[in-house]
Amino acid sequence: MGASQKDFESAVNQVKLLKKDPGNEVKLKLYALYKQATEGPCNTPKPGLFDLINKAKWDAWNALGDLPKETARQNYVDLVSGLRSSSDSSSQVKPEADKKQAGYETLVITSEDHITKIMLNRPAKKNALNTQMYQEIMLALEAASKDDSTITVFTGSGDYYSSGNDLTNFTDIPPGGVEEKAKNGAILLRDFVDCFIDFPKPLVAVVNGPAVGISVTVLGLFDLVYASDRATFHTPFSHLGQTPEGCSSYTFPKIMGLAKAVEMLIFGKKLTAGEAYAQGLVTEVFPDSTFEKEVWTRLKAYSKLPRNAMRISKQIIRNHEKEKLHAINAEESSILQERWLSDECVNAVMNFLSQKAKL
C-alpha cells in the first residue's frame, strides 16, 4: 500500500525539522516530488535565464514527467525517512553571533572613544555587499559625518573584510528588465562611491581579512588603511567581465604606479598585505595575532587629536581632487552599466551563482 496523505504531511513537517542541510541535490528532489505529489505534472512556464534557482527547481519538477501523484507521495516519504536517520546522527549548529544596533541589519555600528566604527556584518556571506548594505553604509556615513566622533572606521566581522559586491545583486530582475537593473545598479554605485569621496572626517579601514572588488577599490579614498597580515587585496574585474570602480582607475595608478595598478585592475593579481603595503595601498601591516589590539590602541590615541584640525587637514589634502573624483566615478559607473549587460559579465556571474546555488 502507498503512503497515506497523513504520512505525506508528516514527512513534509519532518523536513522542516532536519538538523542537517541535506544539500542542493536532495532539496531539488524533495521540491520536485512535493510539487508532483500535490499539483501533478509541471505545466508552469519555464523561468528566465537569470532566475537560476527557480529554473533549477522547474527543471527538477519537469523531469518527473507524468509520474503519478501517489508514487511521488510515496517517493517523498521514503526520501524523508532516509534523511531523518542520517540527520539524527549528526547535527550542524549555525553560528548566530550578530548583535546588531537598532536600525541597521547588515552593519554593526558603535561609537566609543570618539570613534564611530562601522562593521560590515554578513560574515556568513564573507561580508558581501548586497543592495541593503550599500544603502545602510551610505546612511551610516551620513550619520558619522555629523556625529561627535573624530574618526570613522570600517572593518569586517568574521574572517573576511569583504568579498565585494554581492553577486546575487544581479538576480531579482525588476519588471523593466535587465536594462533597468543595470541602470539602478549604476546609480547605486555612483551614489555609494560619492559618499566616500565627500566624507569629511578621517576615514580608516581596519582590514581584518581578505578584501575583494569594491571593498578594495574604495580603499584609495580612505585616509588610513591598516591590514592584518592575513588580509589579501583582490580585484578580479576582468574575470567577472567587469571594469574598475570606486575611482580605482584613477587612484590606483596614482598610488602604486601604472604598472602595478594594471596588474591588479586588468589582470586581477591578488596582493598580499605586504605587497599592498609595498605598493602604497596599505598604511601599515600588523601580525594577525596582535592586529586588533595594536590597531585600536593606535586609533584611540589618534581619536584624541583635535577634531577640527583633522577635518580641515583632510579638506586641504583631498579637496583639489574632489571634482575630478566625482567625474571619474560617474564615468566608471556608466561604463559598468554597459558591462553588466555583456555576455562576459552575465556568464561569469551565472557561473558563480550556479556553483553556489542554495535551494
Ligand X SMILES: CCCCCCCCCC/C=C\CC(=O)SCCNC(=O)CCNC(=O)[C@H](O)C(C)(C)COP(=O)(O)OP(=O)(O)OC[C@H]1O[C@@H](n2cnc3c(N)ncnc32)[C@H](O)[C@@H]1OP(=O)(O)O
Contact residues toward ligand X (CB under 6 A) are 125-126, 128, 163-170, 181-182, 185, 188-189, 212-214, 236, 240, 242, 245, 340, 352, 356, 358
- CB of 234 within 8 A of CB of 271? yes
Q: In terms of DSSP bridges, do strands 224-228 and 203-207 run parallel, antiparallel, or are they unpaired?
A: parallel
Give the integer Cα–Cα distance in Å for 267 and 248: 14
- Phi, psi for 227 (deg, rounded to 5): -130, 140
Nearer to ligand X, 253 or 268 (CB): 268
Q: How far is the CB of 194 from ligand X (least distance, A)?
A: 13
Q: How far is the CB of 266 from ligand X (least distance, A)?
A: 14
Q: How far is the CB of 333 from ligand X (least distance, A)?
A: 8
Contacts of 169 (CB under 8 A, 6+ apart): 130, 131, 185
Reading across the β-sheet that carries 211-212, which strands appear in turn? 211-212, 232-234, 271-272
Nearer to ligand X, 128 or 137 (CB): 128
Q: How far is the CB of 28 from ligand X (least distance, A)?
A: 15
Nearer to ligand X, 149 or 337 (CB): 337
Residues in a beta bridge with 162:
211
Look at the block and give the residue holding cell 549548529.
93
Residues in a beta bridge with 129:
165
Nearer to ligand X, 127 or 152 (CB): 127
Residue number of the CB atom closest to ligand X: 213
Nearer to ligand X, 64 or 218 (CB): 218
- CB of 314 within 8 A of CB of 258? no
Q: How far is the CB of 238 from ligand X (least distance, A)?
A: 11
Q: How far is the CB of 172 from ligand X (least distance, A)?
A: 9
Nearer to ligand X, 214 or 282 (CB): 214
Q: How far is the CB of 9 from ligand X (least distance, A)?
A: 29
Contacts of 4 (CB under 8 A, 6+ apart): none
**How many Å separate Cα 20 from the centre of its chain?**
25
Nearer to ligand X, 64 or 345 (CB): 345
Q: Please work out, in degrees rounded to the nearest 5, the angle formed at the alpha carbon of residue 44 by the alpha carbons of 71 and 83.
A: 40
Nearer to ligand X, 182 or 261 (CB): 182
HSE on the CB side for 97, CA within 13 Å? Answer: 9
Nearer to ligand X, 37 or 265 (CB): 265
- CB of 276 within 8 A of CB of 233? yes
Single-letter residue type at 326: H
- The C-alpha cell of 301 is what? 590615541
Q: How far is the CB of 82 from ligand X (least distance, A)?
A: 24
- The C-alpha cell of 23 is what? 544539500
Q: How far is the CB of 127 from ligand X (least distance, A)?
A: 8
- CB of 270 within 8 A of CB of 233? yes
- The C-alpha cell of 262 is what? 594594471
